[in-house]
Amino acid sequence: MDSIFANSKNVFLDTVNAKDYIQLDRVSTIYKSLKGSMTKPLKMILLFGKPGTGKSMFLTKLYNDLYQENNIYLYQTPIVDENEFYKTLAQDIFNIKYNDTLNFTQFMKIVKDRAIEEVPIVLLDEAQLYSEILMEKIRLLSDTRCIKFVITLHKTEKEDLIAKEHFQTRIWETFELENASNTELKIYIQKKLMKANCFDTANMFSTKTVNKIYKLTNGNYRDTNKLLYTLFDIYDTYEQNSHIYPMNTTHIPNKFVEMAAIHTGLINA
């Protein structure tokens, strides 16, 4: 039987699953607005934010909530080859299988000739990995209003893609995700653990401990998950090799948090 620390460790595995979605007031408000945008006659919707702010989770939950009643397709891994991109969409959306090359002009003809009553929604994650040429053609496809695109992009300091004029003119709605605040981070950690019935470890996170974690991760969800996975791995290892003294579950020592931070690269040893 796994220890409470092993179970708690698994809560923070780096996976994207709609069931792991944690409701926070600010995040839930953004999600409801994004979901509501699906009913609007928008050509393109942009979800952007720094890596680790939950963009992939948003798309996955959106798909999970809508796929039974909507014509919606999720592509979590970018299809960077242009020919394969059109072929995949042709097969998924229009049920047309191509063995040979399918170029943009041919696909555009399919889109216009076979426009269906319910506009298909295409969710593209990690869109910053697509080439500029393919992104421009995706924008042109959105102009037909025969396909609605929802895309995620990383917001970077070097290049903020939404600032490009040729992109901005085609996006009718944008949503930005940010890191959690101190208060939100505590709720996030405790809700994740309680959702997995890890109530004892959820109670270990005092405001002081969460503030320490926040200083290390700046409220970034991905960094927090990595840190806590490693933290509970330390607890689990210690418990397996210490048969004399039971592990203390009333609080988390700073040295354990710091050890986890060193291991994950948040602190330079």
Q: pTM of this prediction?
A: 0.86
Which residue(s) pair with 72 in the sheet?
Answer: 121
Q: Residue 163: what pLDDT?
A: 47
The pairing of beta strand 44-49 with beta strand 148-154: parallel
Tell me, what's the pLDDT at 173?
Answer: 85
Q: CA of 170: how far to CAs of 35, 58, 59, 68, 138, in Å?
A: 19, 21, 20, 28, 10
Q: Is 213 exposed, middle or buried (0-12, 13-18, 19+ CB in 10 A)?
A: buried
**What residues contact 201, with CB distance under 8 A and at least 6 apart?**
4, 5, 8, 193, 232, 249
| Integer Cα distance of 250 and 238 in angstroms | 16
Query: What pairs with residue 151 in β-bridges?
Result: 46, 124
Q: Which residues of the chain have pLDDT under 70?
A: 1-2, 156-171, 242-249, 269
